[in-house]
A and B are shown apart, each in its own frame.
Chain A
Amino acid sequence: MGVSAKQACRQILWLAYRDFLYERRISLCFVLALMAVLAPLLVLFGLKYGLIDTLAQRLVESPYTREIIGVGSGHFDTAWFQAMTARPDVAFVIPNTRRIAASFSSLQQLATGEQLQAVQMIPTGPGDPLLATVQPQPTQLEQVILSYPAAHKLNAKAGDRLEARITRRRNNQPESTALQLEVVAIAPEAALPDEAVFVLLDLLLATEDYRDGLAVARFNWPGTPMPESERVFARFRLYSKSIYDVASLRDALLQASIEVRTQAEQIELMQSLDRNLSRVFWLIAGIGITGFLASLAANLLANVDRKRRELSIARLLGFPTRSIILFPVIQATLIGTWGGIAAILVYFLVATLLNIGFASSLQKGELICYLVPVHFLIAFLATLLCALAASAWAGYRASCIEPAEGIRDV
């Protein structure tokens, strides 16, 4: 008996779907129009999330930007190093010897005989930011980690044995000594671009002592007996906790008359660039989102106006007002769903091309254009919500006019 609301809603659903199919060309236009504004927004957000965040993260985490390099040689005693270690803004500090002493005269791969001359030695220890991902770390004096270029040149891998040679002049006579080393690991390519070998501090000190003509009991190297005085170090390796600590740490050192070189200026530059880029990004995104929502709403409103006659006829046939509102809402949902899916497909295509194109300048696992599922969900729900709101409003407006009005202007 009579028109049940459920019956009316079911029929309206069917009508909306049939009309959407019948006007497939115009429906396609609406879907494409939605795609055309949503897809660039997704790509923009993908770039923001991928490129800017990846680069910012890389900058924040990169040991290079956090490194503070002493200029020239100084006199740093154990107390100074203890004080530095205790500072909350210091991530890693270790003594270093004079530059001239901090190298092996030669390094030879025992298995193949391949050789490198004058290999820089870098003191390392637990928590070294350059070797954060490297396992295992040296625990004994004879254990070393090769930098990637050094390992490449020596054709060495973890477990290989090397012979290191150290030369000195004593009493105007050239002398040299050798020791066997074990490669425990190879540092990743990104850690250090130079040919170098990471050693425990005591091995570096032994070679410095040997070069100074002193005797090193640990290795039975001959020479003058060790002096009693406290050891003073010429250099240090120092890394701040984060890039935000670099400037304050630099100022503290300058105040103690220690001249240092840092990336502080570049960091400030990058930070202001990042701030400005973010501002530009949000500006563009704001315009894009506003335009997107406005065009979606305008399209759907225009569509309802176009459907005035159909809606009036349906009302004349006895469809209740509330079910009439469903008609544009269902079509808006169809447009929103297909437009959203199309935009996501376009996004994936563009993102894949961008990621392939930029692959060479990215590290493993990094993507220049990248979104996670929750981003798509948010984009999709926002689209549907806006579509529903606009079409429900338009449908409500259409239902407010008397049924007779809509059929007379055709």
Chain B
Amino acid sequence: MIASSRLIFHIRDLTKKRTGAGASFELRVPELAIQAGDIVVLQGISGSGKSTLLDLLALALRPDRVAQFRFAPSNTISVDIDRLWRENNVDALAYLRGEHIGYILQTGGLLSFLTARENIALSCRLLGRRVEQSLEELAEPLGISSQLDKLPHQLSVGERQRVAIARALVHRPSVVLADEPTASVDPLTADTILHLFLGLVERFGVTAIIASHDWQRIAAAGLKLLQHRLEREGTVTRSLFWN
């Protein structure tokens, strides 16, 4: 654990609305402060806005309204994300994503036309970094060393998820976001994958934010649970997350 009181994310009064057929959904974050090095769990039933919150934290979704949104990936960098969105500086946001954030999607999110190795290496190649050594270091504990030259469709769902974990960590990001990383695998495999993932997160000292609908599975120590509440007001479903 990094002994630091730095807040890697600090959000106040964020709102993101989504309107569907007849009903609308509103995500609200009164206050969210995540310490660097924390492992945070977002719990909630499916449809409660966990993915939306992760997308917002991944700088991949524009908030409707926010009083403050600071992202401090290192001790020397602290960025006003709200300003970047207002200025529509999408390249700066892409830069921050590429350099400091790793994102594990529910479905893996691997590029189907690249091998596992190439998928993992992509974020490093984008950053112009050498990748071979750190790639092997990740593949070994994840147990995918022999699968690296296969295409995603030749891998099992669990193997794909491990490749996605490797891709999210290989460029040593400050924060890794995981959206239901084990939702599409059987419970035994899910336990193994979660265990491996949390092990790597602790080893690298990276901040992790994990969305899960059955967080009890995550039986590691030192987990912080976000507060969450669903409200209904007429046709509006409001989901609140805070800590």
A residues sitting closer than 8 Å to B (CB atoms) are 2-4, 7-8, 11, 15, 18-19, 21-23, 310, 313-322, 402-405, 407-408, 410
Contact B113 A2 (CB under 8 A): no
Stretch at the interface among B31-39, B120-128, B137-145: B120-128
**Could you tell me the distance between the alpha carbons of A222 and B158 in the complex, rounded to whole angstroms?**
120
Partner of A11, one of B99, B107, B122: B122
B126, A22: Cβ atoms closer than 8 Å: no
CA distance A403 to B57 in the complex (A): 12
Rounded to whole Å, the gap between the CB of A34 and the closest CB of chain B is: 21
| Closest A residue to B100 using CB positions | A318
The answer on a CB contact under 8 Å between B127 and A2 is: yes
| B99 contacts A3, C-beta separation under 8 Å | yes
Asked, given contacts A316-B109, A408-B51, whether A321 binds B91 with beta carbons under 8 Å apart, the answer is yes
Residue on B nearest A317 in the bound complex, by CB:
B123
With A and B bound together, what is the CA distance between A217 and B163 in angstroms? Answer: 113
In the complex, what residues of A have CB within 8 A of residue B69's CB?
none
Which residues on B sit within 8 Å (CB–CB) of A317?
Answer: 97-98, 122-123, 126
In the complex, besides A316-B60, A321-B90, A404-B58, 6 extra interface pairs with C-beta distance below 8 angstroms are: A11-B122, A11-B126, A316-B58, A318-B101, A321-B91, A404-B55
- Minimum distance in angstroms from A404 CB to a CB of chain B: 4
Q: Which 4 A-B pairs have the closest CB atoms?
A: A318-B98, A22-B113, A404-B55, A404-B60
A224 to B94, CA, bound (A): 113
B178 to chain A, nearest CB (A): 13
Known: A318-B126, A404-B55, A404-B60. A3 touches B94 (CB 8 A): yes
Interface size on B, residues (CB 8 A): 32
State the total of A-B contacts with C-beta under 8 angstroms: 90
Tell me the smallest distance from the CB of B86 to a CB of chain A, in Å: 14
B111: contacting residue among A313, A315, A320, A408, CB under 8 A: A313
13 CB-based A-B contacts, threshold 8 Å: A7-B125, A8-B126, A11-B125, A19-B111, A19-B113, A22-B113, A317-B98, A317-B126, A318-B98, A318-B126, A320-B91, A321-B90, A402-B60
Contact A3 B113, CB 8 Å, known A8-B126, A316-B103, A403-B60: no
Binary flags per residue of B70-102, CB closer than 8 Å to A gives 1, else 0: 000000000000000000001100111111010
- Residue among A21, A314, A318, A402 making CB contact with B95, cutoff 8 Å: A318
Q: Give the complex CA separation of A160 and B90 in angstroms.
A: 90
Rounded to whole angstroms, the CA-CA distance of A310 and B114 in the bound complex is 11
B91 near A322: Cβ-Cβ < 8 Å: yes
Q: What residue of chain B has the Cβ atom nearest to residue A7's Cβ?
A: B128
Give A304 Cβ to nearest chain B Cβ, in Å: 15
B105 to A, closest residue via Cβ: A407
The CA-CA distance from A404 to B96 in the complex, in Å, is 15
- Give the residues in chain A near B112, CB-CB below 8 Å: 22, 310
- Complex-state Cα separation, A368 to B96, whole angstroms: 63
Given known contacts A321-B91, A322-B91, A4 and B128 CB-to-CB distance under 8 angstroms: yes
- The reply to whether the CB of B62 lies closer than 8 angstroms to some CB of chain A is yes
Q: Please determine whether A18 and B109 come into contact, CB atoms closer than 8 angstroms.
A: no
